[in-house]
A and B are shown apart, each in its own frame.
Chain A
Amino acid sequence: MINYDIVIVGGGPAGLAAAVCAKQNGIDSILILERDKELGGILNQCIHNGFGLHTFKEELTGPEYADRFIRQVKDLGIEYKLNTMVMEVSQDKIVTAMNREEGMFGIQAKSVILAMGCRERPRGALNIPGYRPAGIYSAGTAQRLVNMEGYMPGREVVILGSGDIGLIMARRMTLEGAKVKVVAELMPYSGGLKRNIVQCLDDYGIPLKLSHTVVDIKGKERVEGITLAQVDENNRPIPGTEEFYTCDTLLLSVGLIPENEISRGMGVEINPVTSGPKVNESLETNMEGVFACGNVLHVHDLVDFVSEEAAAAGRNAAAYVKAAAGSGNPADSDTVSTDAAGEQSTDNSGAVEVIKDTIEAHEIRLIPTAGVRYTVPSTIRPDHMDENLTVRFRVGSVYKNCYVSAYFDDERVIHRKRQVVAPGEMEELKLTKEQILQYPKLKTITFKVEEE
C-alpha cells in the first residue's frame, strides 16, 4: 500500500489551500486526489470576477484565483492525481480511490483532509409539482455547459432561487444571448450577496420576485412555461397570485448541500444544521486526524474565506502529523523537514507543549442560539488553540441594526454592532486565546443575535 502523511480529498479551492499550508508547515508527503480533469474545482466554471479581494487584494475571476493556488501547489512540488475518484475512506484512514490508469487502489494516510465541496439541491428536494421535461437545470450545471463547453441550455429562462449561482447565471445567460425573464425567491430576502443583485439583476433589468415560488412546470418534452405564485409567511403559495411565464428553461439555485457521503461512511459525526462535519478549533472532526474545510464543512459565500479556513486545516493537519511522529515511531520523524518553514513549525509545536502544561485540558462547547443557526467550530480546546480563532456562523433571518454577541458562560464578552445581518452572508467573530484564558473554567460560549 502507498503511504502519505496527508491525503486531501478534493482539489478545489479548499484542498489546494490546505495542501499549500500543510507543505509550508513542514509536511512533504502530501497527496491531493481530484475527481475532475483539472485542479481548481468549481472555480473553473465561475468565470465571473469578484474573487480574491481579501486574499490577494485584487479582483480576480474564478479560474485566475484557482490558478494562483495551482501554481503554488506545482511550485511546492505537491503531488496530485487528477480524474481520480475517492470511493471511500476507512476508519483507519485507508483511502480507496480509482482512476483509469491505476484502477482501484488504497492509500494509507496519517491524516485526511476532507475538501469535497458541495452539490446543488435538486428540484425534487423542493417538491415542485408539474411535468419533468428537458430544460430544468440546476444553475451550476447550466454554468458548466455555458462557461466551459459553450452550449446554451435555453433561450428564455426563469430562475428559481436567488443564491449567488442563480444571480450570476442570470447575467451570464443574458450576456450570452438568452432572455432571463425573472428570478423568483421563496424567502422574503435574497439568498445571495447584495453586490450580485446589483450587478447581475439590476444592471440588466431582470426582476427579482421575493416571496415567490414555482407552483407548476408546463411542457411534456421541453419546458414550455412555469407558473409562479406568491407565498405566505409559512411559504405556502397564495391562491389567486399565480402568474404564468413562457420559457424553455428553468434554472434552480435553491441551495447547496455539503457532500459528506465519504465522511459519513467513515464515521464522521455530521451537524444536521450545516450538513457538514462537527469540528473543533483545529477543524478536526470527531475522528482523530481527520480534518474538514471549505464547502464540505459548511457552505461559504466567498472563496477567500474557504482558502483561509482550509489553510488552518492544512496547518492543523501538519501539526497533527508531526505530533504523532514525535510521540510515536522516531522513524516517522523524517517528515519534519529542516527548511525554514519546518523549523518555524517545530518551534510552534514546542509552544503547544508548553501551553498544554499550563492550561487545563478541557473542551468548551459553542452554542448557537437566538438567531444564530450554527457555529464552526462547535467546540474549542483552549490548549490546542492558536492565538486567534475565527468563529464563522450564519443567522436564520434578516436583522437590521443589531448586535452579534458571544457570552462566555453567562457573561457577555463580545458585542458587535451590525447594520444588517442576513442568512445569505456568513458572519464571523474573532476570539483570542488570551480572552479565553481569562476564563479557566469556561464551559460554553453562546452566540446570539441581539436587537439591543
Chain B
Amino acid sequence: MEIKNLICINCPMGCALTVEMEGQEVVSVSGNTCKRGDTYARKEVTNPTRIVTSTVRVAGGEADMVSVKTKEDIPKGKIAECIKALKDVQVQAPVYIGDVIVTDIAGTGVDIVATKNIELTLPLLG
C-alpha cells in the first residue's frame, strides 16, 4: 500500500488530500471537503492534467497580444509541447473570447481558444 499526499488545487481551500494506492489503483481518498477533491486526487495520481494559459501575437489589433488557454485541461506532460506549438502563431484582429486559435494543440485533441477580445485598430487621430 502506498500513500500519496496532495494539495487539492480545485479551489482556494487547498484541502490536504491523502490518497491510498495499491499499485496503479486508487484505494481511497481522504481529506477532501467536496467531490471535486476526490476526482482531482484520483486523476492527479493516475493522469495529471492542467489548463494551460499563454499568449499569442495579434496583427492589426488594439493590442499586440491576445491571451489564450486550452479549452480543457491537457496532460501535464504535454504542457511544454503545447507552448512550443504556440510559439509562431499569429492571428488577425479582431479576435473574440472563445475563438479557436489552434485546433488539437500538440495532438491532445484540445483546442486553444482566445480569452480576450481584441478589436481592430481604429485609425488614430492626431
Contacts and interface: CB of A to CB of B under 8 A. Distances in A.
Interface of A: 44, 47-49, 53, 59-64, 67, 146-150, 175-176, 193-195, 197-199, 203, 301-302, 419, 425
Nearest to B11: A53
A48 B63 contact: no
B6, B8, B97 — which one has the most chain A CB atoms within 10 A of its CB?
B97
B93 to A, nearest CB: 14
Contacts of B14: 193-195, 425
A177 to B, nearest CB: 8
| 6 A-B pairs with the lowest CB-CB distances in the bound complex, closest first | A194-B14, A47-B67, A63-B116, A195-B9, A61-B115, A150-B65
A301 B97 CA distance: 25
Contacts of B117: 67
Given A49-B69, A147-B55, A198-B7, A175 B115 contact: no
Contacts of B83: 175-176
Interface stretch (B20-28, B46-54, B103-111): B46-54
17 contacts: A47-B115, A53-B10, A59-B51, A61-B67, A63-B97, A147-B65, A149-B65, A150-B57, A175-B52, A194-B9, A195-B7, A195-B11, A199-B9, A203-B50, A301-B12, A302-B12, A425-B12
A61 B79 CA distance: 17
Nearest to A204: B79
Contacts of A194: 7, 9, 12, 14
A198 B116 CA distance: 26
Contacts of A61: 53, 67, 69, 115
A148 B116 CA distance: 11
A150 B10 CA distance: 29
Contacts of A150: 55, 57, 64-65
Interface in B32-83: 50-55, 57, 63-65, 67, 69, 76, 79, 83
Nearest to B12: A193
A44, A149, A175 — which one has the most chain B CB atoms within 10 A of its CB?
A175
A62 B115 CA distance: 8
A148 B57 CA distance: 10
Contacts of A175: 52, 54, 79, 83
A16 to B, nearest CB: 15
Contacts of B52: 175
Contacts of A48: 53
Given A49-B53, A63-B97, A195 B67 contact: no
Nearest to B80: A175
Contacts of B67: 47, 61-63, 147
Contacts of B11: 53, 195
B7, B54, B67, B79 — which one has the most chain A CB atoms within 10 A of its CB?
B67
A61, A146, A176 — which one has the most chain B CB atoms within 10 A of its CB?
A61
Interface in B92-106: 97
B12 A49 contact: no
A302 B10 CA distance: 13
A139 to B, nearest CB: 16
Contacts of A425: 12, 14
A301 B116 CA distance: 22
A375 B66 CA distance: 39
B35 to A, nearest CB: 14
A49 B116 CA distance: 13
Contacts of A195: 7-12, 14
Nearest to A53: B11
A203 B51 contact: no
A47 B54 CA distance: 7
Contacts of A64: 97, 115-116
A237 to B, nearest CB: 30
A301 B6 CA distance: 22
A302 B16 CA distance: 20
Nearest to B44: A198
Contacts of A419: 16
A338 B57 CA distance: 47
B54 A49 contact: no
Contacts of B57: 150
Nearest to A45: B67
A6 B24 CA distance: 60
B16 to A, nearest CB: 8
Contacts of B116: 44, 47, 63-64, 67
B12, B14, B83 — which one has the most chain A CB atoms within 10 A of its CB?
B12
A245 B97 CA distance: 40
Contacts of A59: 51
A148 B65 contact: yes
B81 to A, nearest CB: 12
Given A47-B55, A63-B116, A425-B12, A148 B63 contact: yes
A168 to B, nearest CB: 10
